[in-house]
Amino acid sequence: MPNWYDNQTPWRRRAFYLHAGWHFNYPFSVLSWSANDFGDMFALLNAFGINTVMLWPMMEAIPAPLSSEDASELRIVRDVIGRARDLGLECWVTQTANFTSKPTIADRPLKQRHLYPHARTIRLDDVVERNAYFAHRASMLEIVNNADAYVTIDGDPGSYPDANPENFVDVLGFDRSTIDKHGAFPNRQSVVPWMWCGWGNHWDTLGPWNEPIEPLNAPLLECIKQRLAEPWQLLPGRSFHEKHANGRVNIDMAERAGLIDRSMLMLYEVVEFEPIPPACVIQFDAIRRVLRQEGRHASTARGCMVNAQQPVMALPNLWFFARGAADPAYLARPDLTVLRDFAEFLGGDADLLIPAWTSLQSAAVSADLSHRLRQSNLKSTAAQFIPGGADRYLEILGSFVDARVRVSAACASMPVSSADLSEGISAGLSALIDWWTIHGYVGTGEAGEGFRLEYTHSALSQPLRIWAQAHLGHAEIGEVAKQVADACELSVDSATEAVKALMR
């Protein structure tokens, strides 16, 4: 089967997945958004040409029994769904099949809960455990009853080794019965199996993506076809590289099963790799490749979906996806033309925005670019819908460019003493810390919320790594770290770990 297709068919539904599972600062993290921010994002997506959104509102972080406070949070989710639908967007809600939290998580507001340290996997082959879980799941769906579709992922997180396909379809069937009873428009509300990593995988022993997916999902597909009541759709997911993670296995399986006409294709990571700290990384080639590769399904599939961990930083990529999915001929436009189009769409100065968006790829960035960005403005109506606002977006871009410029400056010297090394490393780490202070990325939060080098994008920190490894001997780490601690206002332990991380 060839990898490239001369497709000129627009995708009927162009979808974006808003994933609220990551903890970092406003407005980067979807988890940090208010209902008004979601409404603004929906308006922006609508202006882009996106017509479907999927939300993961982290209902898994709500333990049983459902409290009045958490019920209020779910009514906000219901309102957010209504805002999307009022703008003409389809709105889907996703959950895991068998993942919930222990009551110990309930003492914090929902947006402050770190799910994974408190997570609990439900054994669906244990009738008592399953029925209690189903009752709790129903109590939440009775409130969040106005979505166009209810998606359940086959794992990551959830599932367990050798899980029975029948049990996964039991979850779908239970959701179907709950929607039929309590849904706002049940005849048009779908349940959607999300094929991703394989139901019944052995991630706990083999690790992610080290197990063949097809033997796990083939019986699941057959069970879905035989048992799942209408209406239902399918969400087969693929990675942005064929030989990475799940590749194209799930889409190929859906095609062989004759289910492409029921499928929304999830094109994971073409807009932004996940998980990854905030940065502006242009991924137009990945978008071109995957949309062209899957383009032969455009006339048959129900649509295609992409995701971003921090949508504000991925806006240029999301714009290009939306335009290319609506008009495949647009994929042939050169990168700079696309970026100029997007700058015009935002009503901004392309001569400032383009160097900012491409600053990671540029050999040199003007030292005053960040200042000029902050002094500029975005004049279009659509730009005002960027979560946090247009002015905040320019401030964020300016801060990102400033970090890029400062790291480059720190690596431009040729150190001749330990003091020179300390000064250069301190200057580079200070730039990274200042950018981290703005975005606050801490992954899923289990490792703590202080600065760690892994919480900065590798492309931003890589020049400092290369410089440090070229000049810093391991015997000097302790001495340099003490000076870095003072200069960067870190503890000696944190500074030592940061300097050691530069050497890895």
| pLDDT in the model for residue 446 | 67
Instruction: Return the structure tokens found at 14.
Output: 């162009």
For residue 242, the model assigns a pLDDT of 84
The per-residue pLDDT for 1 is 39
Other C-beta atoms closer than 10 Å to the C-beta of 283 total: 20
Rounded distance, CA 490 to CA 451, Å? 9
Beta strand spans in 212-278 (E): 235-238, 264-267
Cα dihedral value 125, 129, 132, 135, nearest 10? -30
Helix (H, G, I), strand (E, B) or coil at 412: coil
Per-residue pLDDT band for 447 (boundaries 50, 70, 90) equals low
Phi, psi values for residue 113, rounded to 5°: -85, 125
Q: Which helix (H) or strand (E) holds 131?
A: helix 127-141
- Provide the 8-state DSSP code for 364: -
Question: What's the mean per-residue pLDDT of the chain?
Answer: 94
DSSP H or E stretch at residue 285 = helix 284-293
Domains of the chain from N-terminus onward: 14-332 (3.20.20.80), 339-407 (no CATH), 411-502 (no CATH)
For residue 220 the two structure tokens come to 């699941």
Contact 374, 36 (CB under 8 A): no
Residue 461 tokens, joined: 């920190």
H or E segment to which residue 218 belongs: helix 214-227
Q: How confident is the model at residue 6, as a pLDDT?
A: 59
Handedness of CA 235, 45, 291, 23 (dihedral sign): negative
> Can you give the pLDDT at residue 38?
98
For 13, other C-beta atoms within 10 Å of its C-beta total 16
User: Looking at residue 5, what is its pLDDT?
Assistant: 52
Q: Tokens for 274?
A: 């996940």
Q: If pLDDT is split at 50, 70 and 90, which confidence band does 243 have?
A: confident
Strands 119-121 and 99-101: antiparallel
pLDDT reported for residue 450: 84
Query: Within 13 Å, how many C-alpha atoms sit on residue 383's CB side?
Result: 18
| Contact assessment for residue 426 and residue 411, using Cβ atoms and an 8 Å cutoff | no
One-letter identity of residue 182: H
The predicted model gives 460-467 an average pLDDT of: 96
User: Which tokens belong to 304?
Assistant: 């295609």
Measured torsion, CA atoms of residues 210, 215, 220, 222, in degrees rounded to the nearest 10: 160
What is the pLDDT averaged over residues 179-198?
A: 98
Confidence of residue 3 (pLDDT cuts 50, 70, 90): very low
CA-closest candidate to residue 283, choices 321, 252, 257: 321
In terms of Cβ atoms closer than 10 Å to its own Cβ (0-12, 13-18, 19+), residue 34 is middle
The encoded tokens of residue 68 equal: 């009045």
Residue 2 has pLDDT above 50, yes or no: no
What mean pLDDT is predicted for residues 14-36?
94
How far apart, in whole angstroms, are the C-alpha atoms of residue 495 and residue 453? Answer: 10
DSSP-derived pairing of the beta strands 264-267 and 303-308: parallel
For the chain, percent of residues with pLDDT exceeding 90:
85
Phi/psi for 227 (5° steps) reads -115, -20
For residue 119, the surrounding DSSP H or E stretch is strand 119-121
Tens digit of each residue's pLDDT (9 = 90 or more) over 102-157: 999 999 999 989 898 899 999 999 999 999 999 999 999 999 999 999 999 999 99
Q: Give dist(CA 290, CA 120) in Å, integer.
A: 35
* Residue from 319, 323, 270, 258 nearest 294 by CA: 270
Query: What's the mean pLDDT in 278-297?
Result: 96
Place of tokens 């899923």: 444
The sign of the CA dihedral 40, 45, 46, 48 is positive
Question: Which pLDDT does position 4 carry in this prediction?
Answer: 46
Q: Once rounded to an integer, what is the mean pLDDT over residues 286-294?
A: 96
- Residue 107: other Cβ atoms inside 10 A: 8
CB 193 within 8 A of CB 170: no
DSSP 9: P
5: exposed, middle or buried (C-beta count within 10 Å: 0-12, 13-18, 19+)?
Answer: middle
- pTM across the whole model: 0.95
Alpha carbon of 8 to those of 12, 50, 110, 330, 422: distances in Å? 12, 18, 44, 10, 56
* Cα dist from 337 to 179, 292, 322, 390, whole Å: 46, 19, 15, 22
Count of Cβ atoms closer than 10 Å to residue 15 Cβ:
27
Structure tokens at 305: 């979906």
Exposure string of 360-369, with b = 16+ CB inside 10 Å and e = fewer, is: bebeebeeeb
CA distance 20 to 37: 13
Pairing assessment for the beta strands 303-308 and 14-19 based on DSSP bridges: parallel
pLDDT of residue 260: 98
- Of residues 234 and 480, the one with the higher pLDDT is 234
Confidence of residue 416 (pLDDT cuts 50, 70, 90): confident
